[in-house]
Amino acid sequence: MCNFETKSKILRQNSKNYMETTTLELAGNFWIFLIISILLVVFSIYSYYHTNPPVSQLRKSILISLRSLALILLLLIIFQPSLLKTSSIVLEPSVAVLIDNSISNGMQDASVNRKEIVQRILNDIKENEINKNSQYYRFANSIEKLPELRLDSINFNGQTTNLSKALYKIRNDGINTNTQAIILISDGAINDGPNPLYNSENQEIPIFSIGIGDTISPKDIAIKSIISNEITFVNTPIEIVAQFTSTGFKNQKIILNLFDNESFVSADTLTVIEEQRNYTAKFMYKPEKEGEHKISVQINPLRDEFTDKNNENHTFIKVLSNKKVISIFAASPTPDLSLINQYLSEDKDAQINLFVQKSNSEYYVTPTHNLINETQLFVLIGFPGKTTPDNVVSLVAEEMAKGKPILFIAGNSLDYRKLNRLLPYLPFDVISSSNREFEVWVKPVDKIPENPLLRIEGIQNFEEIWENLAPVNKTETFVSPKVESTVLATSKIENINMNEPLILIREVNGLRSAAVIAFNLYKWKLTGYAKEIVKGNTDQVDLFSAFFNNTLRWLSVSNIDNQFVVKTNKKHYFSGEQIEFKANVWDKSITPISNAQIKVKITSGKFEKEIDLPGIGNGIYFSALPSLQSGNYKYSALAIVNKDTIAKEQGLFSVGLDNFEYINLTQNKKLLSALSLNSNGMYLTPEQISTLPNEISKLENFKPVLKTSRHNVEYWNHWVLLTFVILLFSIEWFLRKKMSML
């Protein structure tokens, strides 16, 4: 089909930069449409040339007109008419002025005031010809377009600097504004978001960077970061690492203090020298109470230091109780059972319940309801077997339904029919099973960051070590991982990867489970590690112990405690930032509770505030506070159902205490220069601002562009047109009936 455009084009030119054209299009040849329309009119005339009974010429004309119009409109629908509106506008080239509104860009340097320099640059831009087609933006952790440039709108109160987000906004806006140059006024101290140099899209528009601040480091000490485990256990020592920088001090002793929830823990003394910039201090921290702990490191202020606002940094650590009740269930005594029990028994803080079947349905130690109920972690080894009593399987399933973590290890005597009772809580479903046995090797799955079960502390290429390990055994059983599961390792026979899940984990609604679809794991210890130790290879890695240490630690970290979780969306908030609380409530079978009342009490010194979290469905509760004053805050929450408190939760957060903007006190000229160079722009000092108009005007693409937009309205499939056709035929039929015509 060909397109036809009507001869009548409506041309409207509101200004010399704007033009709009409206075109009627048909999905067919216009002349064919015209000829058929004439034939339809002729047919209508012929139809009423002789009537029975005869009618007046006026009535004939009315009937002919109704039928002709209806038939022509019906033909028009077949030819699919549409109205195309095309508008074109000439966009003059514009400049985006991007102003860094963060704290660091407005601070006082050793010799100059950055705020005054920025204001002087903006005044210069307003007074020259760049201002005619300029769009102004201020940015820090977010970006905002300014309706007009006013110096009082640049207040330098941004808590972080995210340049990538700002450049992304400019690129998107530039599509509609013909932005052909960016003037970036910043110190280049980026501390939030990705590095803008790594995004090739930032090279599309030339960036003219105006560097703010000294390029020589002032005399200062700053704590850059605190590194530690996010989770640990009571009475388990962990290392706290503080990374800090020192500039301008020569043979100066500094004192670093470690605090736990504002309580002094220990101190360390180091000597900094002028030739070295980066330092590391290490503390040993042994938590005595479970809960969330704020860990801070402070450096005592020094004389002549540029600022002491960067002398402190902090992090949060969750401390878990070390008291563990582990129940091991086995359908029969096996080497795996013996070695795993021996390993678990080495933990003095663990109570081990060993439930092993004899040759029949009896147990050496009977698993009672109370013993199973107090279990915090289940280890199933070849369990359940064919002779395992159904009531024991049911008791275990009831406790698993409460969200207790599970480690499942297959066995050659496993009864997969009875296992169906426990499958809802395991990370896999069984497709088919057979008792046929064969040897398999472990093949870790690639591209799983920080593989939680197979990783080896201090070793990066741990996959090769696992692949060279002794083989284990499995039956010809095929499983499929559940949707929420992650396959950490597959099975390999000789050098053939079977892509069959061997080691899996699953986490859903706080419930964690791990599974090994194999047995005779003792070979990892006896034919691997022990064999090498006998040979004198004392640096051999004990993969058996590493695996179970990782697995039990991962399983122990569960969010299902008390079936109640309350969290803030962040641990560190900026001043004026909204604080969000989210809670989840489950019953003992991990079913969401949607009729609970959630009360949260927030305290800090003498400050105290209570809020309710309204439900938003599916056991989720949410509320937000506009902002809080700077300080450290604690919160305690209650979950109330039918006037009974079913669970409690607590946590910590801080407001306005982060020192991101005081970490880098010098201008990052290297970053600003690279951004300008990569985008064919230019790096300038504040003194070179007068050259900007000339440099921008010389840009190859700094010229007007024609932007065209099209809007197509299809009338042929509109209900009004078809309704009008039916109405015309109906009127014709009504008149014919009124005139008693055949």
Residue 561 structure tokens: 């405690």
Closest of 101, 113, 110, 112 to residue 186, by C-alpha: 101
> Strand, helix or coil at 467?
helix
Can you give the pTM of this predicted structure?
A: 0.56
Q: Give the span between the Cα atoms of 603 and 706, in whole angstroms.
A: 59
Q: Supply the mean pLDDT for the chain.
A: 85
How many percent of the chain have pLDDT more than 70?
Answer: 92
Give the count of beta carbons closer than 10 Å to the beta carbon of residue 311. Answer: 22
The residue assigned the tokens 């086995």 is 330
Look at residue 56 in the predicted model and tell me its pLDDT.
86
| Tokens read off for 122 | 């903006």
Is the pLDDT at 195 greater than 80, yes or no?
yes
- Gap between the Cα atoms of 163 and 187, Å rounded: 11
- Tell me what pLDDT residue 284 has: 93
What confidence tier does 8 reach under pLDDT thresholds 50, 70, 90?
A: very low
Alpha helices in 244-368 (DSSP H): 335-345
Phi, psi of 425 (to 5 degrees): -105, 5
Q: pLDDT class for 364, splitting at 50, 70, 90?
A: very high
Reported CATH class of domain 324-556: alpha beta
For 52, the enclosing helix (H) or strand (E) is none
| Per-residue pLDDT tens over the stretch 555-584 | 876 644 556 889 898 888 877 778 999 998
Dump strand ranges (E) for 220-323.
220-227, 231-233, 238-247, 252-260, 263-272, 278-285, 291-299, 312-320
**Domain 93-216+666-703, CATH class in plain words:** alpha beta
What pLDDT shows up at residue 5?
Answer: 45
Task: Check residue 345 and give left, alpha or beta (phi > 0: left; psi -120 to 50: alpha).
Answer: alpha
Q: Which CATH class is domain 561-655?
A: mainly beta
**Dihedral of CA 184/188/189/194: which sign?**
positive
Highest mean pLDDT: which of 112-126, 219-233, 337-351, 375-389?
A: 375-389
Instruction: Read off the amino acid at residue 511.
Output: L
Q: What is the pLDDT of residues 653-671, one digit of tens each?
A: 988 756 677 778 888 999 9
Mean pLDDT, residues 715-734 taken together? 84
Q: Using CA atoms, how far apart are residues 124 and 151, in angstroms rounded to an integer?
A: 12
Q: Which of 333, 328, 383 is nearest to 358 (CA)?
A: 333
What does the alpha-carbon distance between residue 421 and residue 393 come to, in Å, rounded to a whole number? 7
Q: What pLDDT score was predicted for residue 6?
A: 38
* pLDDT at site 532: 64
Q: For 128-137, what is each residue's pLDDT tens digit? A: 767 677 889 9
The reply to whether 93-216+666-703 and 561-655 are identical in fold is: no
What b/e string do you get for 175-191 counting C-beta neighbours within 10 Å, with b at 16 or more? eebbbbbbbbbbbbbbb
Report how far residue 585's alpha carbon sits from residue 491's, in angstroms, rounded to the nearest whole number. Answer: 38
| Distances in whole angstroms, Cα of residue 697 to Cα of each of 140, 681, 689 | 29, 12, 14
Contact in structure between 70 and 47 (CB atoms under 8 Å): no
Q: How far apart are CA 459 and CA 468, in angstroms?
A: 15
Model pLDDT for residues 494-529, shown as the tens digit of each residue: 888 888 999 999 988 778 999 999 999 998 888 766
Look at 218 and 478; give whichever has higher pLDDT: 478
How far apart CA 671 and CA 48 sit, in angstroms, is 86
Helices (H), 536-689: 543-556, 669-678
| Tally of CB atoms within 10 A around 355 | 20
Report the distance separating Cα 115 and Cα 133, nearest Å: 25
| Cα gap 407→40, rounded to integer Å | 82
Q: Where are the domains of the chain?
A: 3-89+713-738, 93-216+666-703, 220-321, 324-556, 561-655
Instruction: Provide the pLDDT for residue 9.
Output: 38
DSSP string of 493-536?
Answer: ETTEEEEEEEEEEEEETTEEEEEES-B-THHIIIIIIHHHHHTT
What's CA 467's distance to the chain center, in Å? 33
- 558-587 in b/e form (b: 16+ CB < 10 A) is bbbeebbbbbbeebbbbeebebebbbbbbe
In the chain, what percentage of residues exceed pLDDT 90?
36
Q: What letter represents residue 211's amino acid?
A: G
For residue 227, list its beta bridge partners. Answer: 241
Q: Report which DSSP code applies to 680.
A: T
> Would you list the DSSP string of 59-99?
HHHHHHHHHHHHHHHHHHHHT--EEEEEEEEEEPPEEEEEE
Using only C-alpha atoms, what is the Rg of the chain? 38
Residue among 236, 234, 349, 240 nearest 291 (CA): 234
CB half-sphere exposure, 308, CA atoms < 13 A: 9
Beta strands 252-260; 682-684: pairing state: unpaired
| CATH (one of 1.10.150.120, 3.40.50.460, 2.40.30.110, 2.60.40.10) for 220-321 | 2.60.40.10
- At 699, list the tokens: 């840009």
Measured between alpha carbons, how far is 165 from 195 in angstroms, rounded to an integer?
10
Neighbours of 451 (CB within 10 A): 21
